[in-house]
Amino acid sequence: MKEVYIVLTHTGTTLSGIVKYYTKKKYTHVSLGLDSELTELYSFGRLNPYNPYRAGFIHEQIHGGTFARFKNTISAVYSLKVTNEQYEKIYKMIQDMKEEKNKYKFNIIGLFLVSVNKKYKKEDKFYCAEFVKYILETCLNKKLLPEIVKPMDFLELNGIQCIYEGLLANYDYTSNSHEVYKTDIIA
């Protein structure tokens, strides 16, 4: 067995504030990690930490990019066990997307329609939760989440386990013994 990581965050940006207002939830963004260090962390979001208008497929860094710019990003890190074969499918799918990252666009219309419980889907366009859902459901070969998906919906996955909650900048994978550890959260 292997593990993938579901990382829920809230940066405090204007867009994340809008999402939080409509969802009434603590976390507004979701990413998919392939390693416990979160060096292989992927999602759909800002391509440049200083430009909210250009977004797409991104390789995120917990100590770089948007998360470094917004140092008080709160987070919850969850692990999800998958088979070795499922992990390899997820890894390959991410690598394929990395190679063709310019063809993928951010689904801004879909993101805003979620607030009124409507779905808008175009091929090769995703918002963060659509992306993680797409990867997991494709590679695990089963429907796991609602059709109109939000970051907090991932907490409903069978077998998901919280391993950290606190400031993302304070995440320390070496403390990861699969018992939740928390750090002070600045709300």
Domain ranges in the chain are 2-182
- What mean pLDDT comes out for the span 154-165? 96
The identity of residue 165, as a single letter, is E
Residue 68: pLDDT over 50: yes
Give the pLDDT score at 40: 97
Residue among 4, 136, 138 nearest 81 (CA): 4
Q: Which of 117-121, 132-136, 148-152, 170-174 is the least confident region? A: 170-174
- What mean pLDDT comes out for the span 25-50? 96
Report the chain's mean pLDDT, rounded to a whole number: 92
Give the pLDDT score at 179: 53
Separation CA 165–CA 180 (nearest Å): 7
CATH number corresponding to 2-182: 3.90.1720
Q: Please report, for residues 90, 136, 157, the alpha-carbon distance to residue 38 in angstroms, rounded to integers and kept in the order given.
A: 15, 17, 20
Give the pLDDT score at 18: 87
Give the pLDDT score at 63: 94
Residue 181: pLDDT over 60: no
Separation CA 1–CA 48 (nearest Å): 35
The whole-angstrom distance between residue 96's C-alpha and the CA centroid of its chain comes to 18
Which residues does 163 contact at the CB level (< 8 Å), separation at least 6?
77, 78, 79, 176, 178, 179, 180, 181
Residue 186: pLDDT over 70: no
Give the pLDDT score at 173: 82
- What mean pLDDT comes out for the span 125-129? 97
The whole-angstrom distance between residue 127's C-alpha and the CA centroid of its chain comes to 10
Give the pLDDT score at 185: 47
